[in-house]
Amino acid sequence: MGIPINVKVNGKEYSQEVEPRQLLVDFLRETLRLTGTHVGCDTSGCGACTILVDGNAVKSCTLLAVQVDGAEVTTIEGLSKNGDHPLQEGFKEEHGLQCGYCTPGMIMAAADLLTNNPNPSEQEIRHALEGNICRCTGYHNIVKSIQYAADKMQGKEVSHG
């Protein structure tokens, strides 16, 4: 039995019927066709499915779609209009990705961090990424990418590569 939900995703209002057991990540990927949010583990461990719900980073494989009724959701597709958010630019400039599988989740977790702590130390960045796993990069360039974005968002000069 479907139940109605109203949810704002990336600025757009949706009124939809969902099956109560539908996972939020499946609602995003399959119903709304927002496939930028990835599923790595499906067991709350890897962070690839990280999105923002009312501004807070959460793992969308561990929420039901019905739980975001009335909430505001932001996925990687909604972070910027043209893919030019300072975090997206940072990951490009600092080579923060290889295969890219973990990247949307990394960026959304970093977005939560920079909202709460605009000028994080390296240690604070690493701590904030505890819930996100990358099998390619060794994390070093991911940390640099986030430092780049933090600098840029504070109007500091950014060094390239």
Conformation bin of residue 101: beta by default, left when phi > 0, alpha when psi is -120 to 50: alpha
Residue 110: DSSP 8-state:
H
- Burial class for 157, CB neighbours closer than 10 Å (0-12, 13-18, 19+): exposed
Interface with ligand FAD (CB under 6 A), residue from 2, 4, 6, 44: 44
- Rounded CA separation 106/108 (Å): 6
Which parts of 122-141 interact with ligand FAD (CB under 6 A)? none
Residues 57 to 86: which contact another protein by CB under 8 A?
A: 57-59, 62-64, 66-67, 69
Position 102 contacts ligand FES (CB under 6 A) = yes
Shortest Cβ 154–ligand FES spacing (Å): 26
94 binds another protein (CB under 8 A): no
Token output for 34:
């927002």
* 23 vs 79 by CB, closer to ligand FAD: 23
**Does position 35 bind ligand FES by CB under 6 A?**
no
At residue 63, φ and ψ (nearest 5 deg) are: -135, 150
CB neighbourhood size of 149 (10 A): 26
- Helix 140-153 / helix 103-116 crossing angle, nearest 10 deg: 40
In the block, residue with structure tokens 């060094």: 159
Question: Considering the rule CB under 6 A, would residue 45 count as an interface residue with ligand FAD?
Answer: yes
Give the binding site for another protein (CB under 8 A).
1, 3, 19-23, 26, 42-45, 47, 50, 53, 56-59, 62-64, 66-67, 69, 109, 112-113, 128, 130-132
Give the binding site for ligand FES (CB under 6 A).
39-42, 44-49, 59, 61, 97-102, 134-137
